[in-house]
Amino acid sequence: MMGLVCFMPLAEAAEDYAASRARLVTEISQDVIDTSAYIGKSALDERVMRVLGTVGRHRFVPPHLQSSAYQNRPLPIGYGQTISQPYIVALMTDLLELEADDVVLEIGTGSGYQAAILSRLVSRVYSIEIIPELAKSASQLLQRLGFGNIEVKNADGYYGWQAHAPFDAIMVTAASSHIPPPLVSQLKPGGLMLIPVGSPFNVQQLTLVRKSKNGELTTRQILPVRFVPFTGKH
């Protein structure tokens, strides 16, 4: 497959990827319908699905995995990091309830794919990556692909990005034993922060932190699928 792609004319390859992407979006939409009882909705935000269908995931994975880029699964991107499963990316982006004029902070740039998706939905994305090599490559790639409203820096995400705070939404994809208080303070009243919890290839649960208009904080533990442990009369 890899070899075939290399010898294909550029336009044809792009068309091929677009078709694969469309299939992926259809697959995710069908997944959502199939598991609507578990997810609590029969469709994700239409804008999110549209963006998922336009951003080329194959650009964000290593060359030898480009043929797998449109399979609905996480992929390794080097440095012990992964690019998330598209289904989970869609779900997480949907949960943030983004508006077009929002400013979003992302902790854990990784390949840059999640930032690219976010950037097509909001006005500006600031992304912090802890691994210098990844920060550099993601920044260069995003620039090359024309995602002009994303800024990436290599830093400690724990302290957020004070210069651009407050943020309408924050997505923390880096592992942490607790929710960093500086990030909470950089979240706008009414804003949402999402923290996926789990191992590199498996998101176990999503923690959604909501800061109310008057600054009160609540967290919601969300399973990617609402798996109800009680059966029968219980």
Partner 1 sequence: MRASATAGPGPPLFSIALISAAALAYEILLMRLFSIIQWHHFAYMMISLALLGYGVSGTFLALSRPWLKGRFRAAYLVNAVLFGISTLVCFLLAQAVPFNALEVLWDPQQPLWLILIFLLLFIPFFCVANCICLTFSEFSSQLHRVYSFDLVGAGVGALAIVGLLFIVMPGTALKVVSALGIFSAAVAWWECRMKPRWPVLVFLLGVGAVLLPANDFSLQVSEFKGLSQTLRVLNVEQIDRRSSPLGLLTTVKSPTIPFRHAPGLSLNTPGPIPEQLGLFTDADNLSVLTRFDGDLGKLSYLDYLSSALPYHLLEKPGVLVLGAGGGSDILQALYHQASHVDAVELNPQVVDLVNSEFADFTGALYELPGVTVYNSEARGFVAARRARYDLIQVALMDSFSASSAGLYALSENYLYTVEAFAQYLQHLQPGGILSITRWIKMPPRDGLKIFATVVKVLEQAGVTDPGRHLVMIRSWNTSTLLVKKDAFTGSDIDSLKAFTRERLFDMIYYPGITRTEVNHYNQMQEPWFFEGTSRLLEPARTEFMDAYKFNIHPATDDRPYFSHFLKWRTLPELLVLRGRGSMPMLEWGYLILVATLVLALLASFLLVLLPLWLQRRKDTRASGLRWRFLVYFPAIGVAFMFIEIAFIQKFILFLHHPLYAVSVVLCSFLVFAGLGSLMSARWHERFSLFSITVGIGMFSVLYVLLLPGLFDWLIQLPGLIKIPVSALLIAPLAFLMGMPYPLGMSIVSEKLPSWIPWAWAVNGCASVVSAILATLLAIHLGFVFVVLVAVMLYLLAAMVLRQEPGLV
Q: Which positions touch partner 1 (CB under 8 A)?
A: 31, 35, 38, 72-74, 76, 78-81, 85, 87-88, 130-133, 154, 156, 158, 176-181, 184, 197-205, 207, 209, 217-234
Asked if 194 and 172 touch (Cβ cutoff 8 Å), the reply is yes
**Residue 74 has which token pair?**
């996480």
Q: Dihedrals φ, ψ of 18, to 5°?
A: -60, -40
Catalytic residue among 20, 42, 84, 199: 84
**Whether residue 84 lies in the annotated active site:** yes
Closest CA to 105 of 66, 153, 137: 153
Report in angstroms how near the CB of residue 9 gets to partner 1 at its nearest.
Answer: 29
Report in angstroms how near the CB of residue 15 gets to partner 1 at its nearest.
Answer: 26
Q: Could you tell me how many helices (H) and strands (E) the chain has, helices first?
A: 8, 9
Q: Which is nearer to partner 1, 61 or 122 (CB)?
A: 61
Q: Which is nearer to partner 1, 140 or 185 (CB)?
A: 185
Gap between the Cα atoms of 111 and 62, Å rounded: 9
Gap between the Cα atoms of 113 and 125, Å rounded: 12
Q: Which is nearer to partner 1, 46 or 201 (CB)?
A: 201
Gap between the Cα atoms of 189 and 205, Å rounded: 24
Amino acid identity, residue 79? Y
Closest CA to 112 of 93, 128, 91: 128
Q: Which is nearer to partner 1, 118 or 206 (CB)?
A: 206
Report in angstroms how near the CB of residue 22 gets to partner 1 at its nearest.
Answer: 19
Report in angstroms how near the CB of residue 10 gets to partner 1 at its nearest.
Answer: 28
Report in angstroms how near the CB of residue 198 gets to partner 1 at its nearest.
Answer: 6
Cis amide linkage into residue 166, ω under 30° from 0? yes
**What is the set of active-site residues?**
84
